[in-house]
Amino acid sequence: MATTGMFRYGDPATISDSDVTFIKPWSKVDIDFTSFGRTERTLPVDNVRDLPKESIGVDKSGFNLYYSPASEKEFTDDQAVRNGYYAEVEDLIRSELSTPSEPIRKVVIFDHTIRRSDPLSPRQPVQQVHVDQTPKAAEARVRRHASTDPAELESLLKGRYQLINVWRPIGHAAVDQPLAFIDYRSTEPKDLIKVDLLYPDYPEKATGDDDDRGKESLPDAATVRSTEGYTARGETFTIVPNDKHKFYYVKDMEPEEALFIKCFDSRSEVHPNGRPGVAAYTPHSAFKDPATPADAKGRQSIEIRALIFYGEA
């Protein structure tokens, strides 16, 4: 069943052309605020469940849906997520993406975000069309997380690697603010604008703790426009409007289902030595579905970000 949704894009008229930190477009991870304006479009959204299975895929459309119940259910214990759920996600990635002709060499899960539709939650559903990582950011993640052995690191970077977001509802179906995503085949490179991702300078940074997970807190609403106390530690793409964009969602997606969203692929068609027809990225956004019942439970979800390396070890 198709529906409609209001989508927030970056407004090209308000985006500066600069690579200077804090002049370059930026957004914050701890609050829905950007240095640039946004423009809204109401667009049709088709249900993935209505598509032939063979018409989509991580390398075709940039996304795919899998039935994969998880042992973890509530995701309230950070250590249980890291020590248990990460392993389940790695198993799912290997079972669905590894092939005899292109086996997975290594999976590195480096981050997760839990979002809840709650005014008191530090991470809420994001209603802005975006891609989680640019090529620069993806390489930086490899260098930061993949290996401490310089030789292995360079070997991993020379081979094919992807950055995949594994998205799952928590507790109940994602009826409120479901996730929509654009079929890669309906995008163009000109749709993408590089944006610095600003992280708060958590007190733990002073002790050398560089892990942001579990440290989120609500910022002071009076200082949302300020960059003081923030550092640019990532780079994403915001998306500008294009009439060609084709949006999809998974109607009433259940906690037993997992959605793969491609953020980067070093062998995609947009990169040097890339493979024709291989999807590069999947722009996505939460949206408000006008068909959502008034008494629907607020959305809760977890997204895992994983680096996936192919080839023989």
Residue 267 near residue 192, CB atoms below 8 Å: no
Region 177-184 average pLDDT: 97
The pLDDT of residue 117 is 87
For residue 210, is it within any domain? no
Query: Above 70 in pLDDT, residue 126?
Result: yes
For residue 200, is it within any domain? yes
8/191 Cα distance (integer angstroms): 13
Nearest to 111 by CA among 71, 82, 138, 69: 82
Which amino acid, 308?
I
The pLDDT of residue 121 is 77
- Reduced to 3 states (helix: H, G, I; strand: E, B; else coil), residue 174 is strand
Show the domain range for 138.
Answer: 3-205+216-310
Q: Is the dihedral of CA 139, 143, 146, 152 positive or negative?
A: positive
For residue 138, is it within any domain? yes
Residue 173 near residue 179, CB atoms below 8 Å: no
What does the DSSP assignment read for 216-267? --PPPGGGTT--TTEEEEEEEEEE---TT--EEE-TTB-TTEEEEEEEEETT
Place of tokens 């032939």: 52
Question: Tens digit of pLDDT for each residue in 26-41?
Answer: 999 888 889 999 999 9
Question: Tens digit of pLDDT for each residue in 131-145?
Answer: 999 999 999 999 999
Query: Above 80 in pLDDT, residue 1?
Result: no
Structural domain tally of the chain?
1
The pLDDT of residue 118 is 81
- The secondary element (H helix, E strand) that includes residue 152 is helix 150-158
For residue 211, is it within any domain? no
100/214 Cα distance (integer angstroms): 37
Region 165-172 average pLDDT: 98
Region 90-104 average pLDDT: 97
Region 61-73 average pLDDT: 97
The pLDDT of residue 313 is 61
How far from 71 is each of 53, 80, 113, 202, 312, CA to CA, in Å?
A: 26, 10, 18, 31, 30
Region 90-105 average pLDDT: 97
Inter-residue long-range contacts of 218-221, CB under 8 Å, 24+ positions, other chains counted = 218/30, 218/31, 218/120, 218/122, 219/28, 219/30, 219/31
The pLDDT of residue 217 is 57
For residue 113, is it within any domain? yes
141/212 Cα distance (integer angstroms): 14
Mean pLDDT of the chain: 92
- Reduced to 3 states (helix: H, G, I; strand: E, B; else coil), residue 262 is strand
Sequence length of the chain is 313
Structure tokens at 41: 């479009």
Structure tokens at 51: 């598509």
Sheet of strand 63-67: strand arrangement: 63-67, 257-265, 161-169, 300-310, 104-116
Question: Tens digit of pLDDT for each residue in 222-264?
Answer: 678 888 899 999 999 999 999 999 999 999 999 999 999 999 9
247-249 vs 130-131, strand pairing mode: unpaired
For residue 88, is it within any domain? yes
How far from 82 is each of 143, 144, 250, CA to CA, in Å?
A: 21, 18, 26
Region 73-78 average pLDDT: 92
Question: Tens digit of pLDDT for each residue in 200-216?
Answer: 986 654 555 556 555 55
For residue 119, is it within any domain? yes
Q: What is the torsion angle, in degrees rounded to the nearest 10, for the CA atoms of residue 259, residue 34, residue 134 and residue 22?
A: -160
